Amino acid sequence: MDKSEAIRRIEELRKVLRDNSYKYYVLNAPTMSDYEFDQTMKALEALEAEFPDLVTPDSPTRKVGSDLDRGFAQYPHRYPMLSLGNTYSIQEVEAFAQRADKALESGFTYCCELKFDGTAICLNYVDGKLFRALTRGDGVVGDDVTANVRMISNIPQTLKGSGWPRDFEIRGEVLMPFEAFERLNAEREEIGEAPFANPRNAASGSLKLLNPQEVAHRGLWCTLYHIPSQSVSYETHDAALSAAASWGLPVSDLRRICHGISEIEDYIGYWDVHRKDLPYATDGIVIKINEMALQTTLGFTAKSPRWAVAYKFQAEQALTKVVSIDYQVGRTGAVTPVANLEPVPLSGTVVKRATLNNKDWMDQLDVRVGDSVYVEKGGEIIPKITSVELSARPSDSVKPHFPDTCPDCGSALVKEEDEARWFCPNQDGCPTQIKGRLEHFLSRKAMNVIAGEATVNQMYNLGLVLTPADFYDLDARSLMLLENWKEKSVKRFLESLEASKSTPFEKVLYALGIRFVGESTAKELAQHFGDVDSIANASLEDLRAVGDVGDVIAASVYEYFRDSRHLAMIERLRAHGLRFSTAGPQSKASDALAGLTIVISGNFSISRDDMKAVIEANGGKNSSSVSGKTSFLLAGEKAGPEKLRKCEELGVRVVSEKEFLEMIPSREQAPAEVKEPTLFDL
């Protein structure tokens, strides 16, 4: 390659890396896999090594990616917060060990640790109290996210024990456990927002929320793995982490001291298999020189320490074909493209479909029907298409046309300036949206009426229901029109409908299906305003004053109650006896759990939601994560190992389901989930 070609190629690679670094660190929506990004970086490094006079200080090979956000105050790091050199090759790990042997004359050990897949954080403690928390930023300056970090339950505000330095830094990763990730994505899909692709993106996005109370709801977790040698005076990295753990800091106990490359390879091989058993995402192993003095001897490159390297696991991929692309309309009107795939086994399951998120993402990927595509599981959970095998693209392939109109009702789609998705605006006339809201209204977390998609479809197609209020006008004669329904199924449905009238106001508000209003936001609104009339009459400023409510949610709620059709429907529901205020008799069984904060984990004889209802009905408070304020962990079968470990660390009591039920005056459990009637029930 001549120099002019090298200049062109270097600029091309730098642009790709900068664009994808911005998407990864700032937008939390990468379109390039980690492996592709790292290989592109290696290609740039190789070219710059061949043409050193073309190296510039602002090259991605010389700077860490930046996640700086103008919405936060920024402070300089006391010591540069660099990134690690990455490799996917055991041979390169062996080369790292050989370089260490050659450079270091004295005997030394390695400390091997899991590489946690989250977002980097630097905590500063002064006089034993959390003083400041900074993101990595650009490595020199970081965003001040202290208020948000204080909402992460396993980060102590005050250290325990003794021996900690008066003023020191400790660094690590903010994670989102799989359980919290699945819950968050379910909530986002419920209110029409795009789900996060993986826990790393979710953790990074959550840490940068402007509302600390919403951060508390996200279930973030932290693990710490590095104290800069200038901050402490321990001989080894391992000793420094052990001391940090004794001060109450969340340090992983899964690290291992290794004495040579064979032990390092054993550690890598073990966790490449067993990482799937962990409750959070890991994407590799970090190998560090353990002795602090030798770390100082080896020093740093422009962007990485020479005394550490990260071995990254290859994400499990599969190659399959795109059979077709559907455009699905959600109950909030969001149109989502979904690729239907030739079934392919991947990470223990058979993958048949993969979301394409939105039009922009689909265009960037340039995926077409008939393409051979690589599929992997983001964070080992959600199938996603990472790239197209262009060499196998059919010669007659055609770029898919994202619809201009709603696939269901034909209305012209709209896209707001700050939205990534296109929406059907015909919310009260689009059949898919109408049926979606009806199903949502009856769902277990809303009104908990025994009916599902099949029943709603029948009722809608027969013209029996168009709005939730229509359900309460149904009688036995009209229900007998439904296919395969007889007296027994009619009786069960009407009894379930009658029972729903005692549903608390917060759940009724959630059941209305207001865009962006999930369970937690509905609860906040209900508690803040007390009744639906106060919410309907609230100004935008009044709505923004509620804990979980920002500009977008406030505008959505405000507009919902400006629609006369919605107000008329609410009046009909109120006339049928539904609860639209927090006043009135409360379904409280006892005060047996009053003042207790309880975390639940595992599987029980009833659903987890029902178990939470039992706790609240007896005066207790549910919490999503274990902390010093937790009264006890209610542990069912297959309770999360991380929660159990945290209980042991903090001395929090672990209670079985049997012991828990003995605490409650009445042994009656919440009703088991009622399912849609089948032909066998009719």
Which of the pair, 114 or 620, is modelled with greater confidence?
Answer: 114
Tell me if 436 sits within 8 A of 426, measured CB to CB: no
Q: In what order do the strands lie in the sheet with 119-126?
A: 129-135, 119-126, 167-175, 221-226
Average pLDDT of 336-353? 87
pLDDT for residue 395 = 93
- Is residue 444 within 8 A of residue 450, CB to CB? The reply is no
For residue 644, give both structure tokens: 């159990």
pLDDT score of 320 more than 80: yes
Q: Is the pLDDT of residue 62 over 80?
A: no
Residue 67's pLDDT is 62
Q: Which residue from 528, 534, 529, 526 is spatially nearest to 505, judged by alpha carbons? A: 526
Question: What's the CA angle centered on 666, arms 661 and 670, to 5 degrees?
Answer: 70
| Range scoring the smallest mean pLDDT among 327-341, 407-421, 496-510 | 407-421
pLDDT in the model for residue 213: 78
Question: Is the torsion defined by CA of 153, 156, 160, 164 positive or negative?
Answer: positive
In this prediction, residue 418 carries a pLDDT of 67
**Integer Cα distance of 286 and 267 in angstroms:** 11
Confidence of residue 586 (pLDDT cuts 50, 70, 90): very low
What is d(CA 569, CA 573) in angstroms, rounded to the nearest whole number?
6
Task: Report the residue count for the chain.
Answer: 682
Return the pLDDT at 32: 67
**Region 210-216 average pLDDT:** 81
CATH of range 317-392; options 2.40.160.20, 2.40.10.10, 3.40.50.1100, 2.40.50.140: 2.40.50.140
- Amino acid residing at 610: D
Across the chain, mean pLDDT equals 86
Given a cut of 90, whether residue 676 has pLDDT beyond it is: no
Contact between 120 and 289 under an 8 Å Cβ cutoff? The reply is: no
Our CA angle for 395, 396, 399, nearest 5°, is: 110
Indicate if the pLDDT at residue 247 is higher than 90: yes
Closest CA to 225 of 327, 114, 391: 114
DSSP notation for 467-494: SHHHHTT--HHHHTTSTT--HHHHHHHH
Q: Stretch 361-385: mean pLDDT, rounded? A: 83
Distance CA 438, CA 459 (A): 10
How does 437-476 read in b/e, with b if 16+ C-beta sit within 10 Å? Answer: bbbbbbbeebbbbbbeeebbebbbeeebbbbbbbbbebee
Q: Judge whether 520 and 547 are in contact, CB under 8 Å.
A: no
What pLDDT shows up at residue 95?
Answer: 93
Tell me the mean pLDDT in the region 144-170: 92
Q: Tokens for 485, please give them.
A: 């329904």
**Measuring CA to CA, which residue among 402, 398, 397 is closest to residue 338?**
402
Mean pLDDT of 45-63: 81
Other CB atoms within 10 A of residue 349 CB: 10
User: Residue 605 pLDDT more than 90?
Assistant: no
| pLDDT for res 646 | 84
> pLDDT-based confidence at 72, cuts 50/70/90?
confident
- Quick check: helix, strand or coil at residue 284? strand
Read off the pTM: 0.57
User: Sign of the C-alpha dihedral, residues 524, 528, 530, 535?
Assistant: negative
3-state percent breakdown (helix, strand, coil) of the chain, nearest 5: 35, 20, 40
Distance between CA 216 and CA 210 in Å, rounded?
A: 12
Over residues 187-198, the mean pLDDT reads 74
pLDDT for res 106? 74
Q: Where are the alpha helices (DSSP H) in 208-358?
A: 212-217, 237-246, 261-274, 292-298
List the structure tokens of 9: 């190629």
Model confidence pLDDT, tens digit, residues 641-658: 878 888 888 889 999 998
Q: Which pLDDT score, from 0 to 100, does residue 498 have?
A: 94
pLDDT number for residue 643: 85
d(CA 155, CA 368): 46
pLDDT on residue 65: 62
Tell the CATH topology of 74-312: D-amino Acid Aminotransferase; Chain A, domain 1 (3.30.470)
In the chain, where the domains are located: 3-54, 74-312, 317-392, 431-575, 597-663
What is the homologous superfamily of the domain 431-575 according to CATH? 5' to 3' exonuclease, C-terminal subdomain (1.10.150.20)
d(CA 373, CA 258): 40
Q: Which of 119-128, 263-272, 666-675 has the lowest mean pLDDT?
A: 666-675
Tell which CATH classification among 3.20.20.70, 3.40.50.970, 1.25.40.10, 3.40.50.10190 matches the domain 597-663. 3.40.50.10190
Q: What are the two backbone dihedrals, phi and then psi, of residue 370, each rounded to the nearest 5 degrees? A: 95, -15
The yes-or-no answer on residue 115 being catalytic is: yes
Superfamily per CATH, domain 3-54: Helix hairpin bin (1.10.287.610)
pLDDT at residue 70, rounded to an integer: 67
Average pLDDT over residues 13-32: 70
Does 607 have pLDDT greater than 70?
yes
> 63, 115, 312, 523: which one is catalytic?
115
DSSP state, residue 318 = E
DSSP secondary structure of 328-358: EE-TT-EEEEEEEEEEEEETTEEEEEEE--S
Average pLDDT over residues 392-402: 94
**Could you give the C-alpha distances from 156 to 121, 327, 543, 601, in angstroms and in order?**
14, 46, 32, 22
| Residue 249 CB-half CA count within 13 A | 29
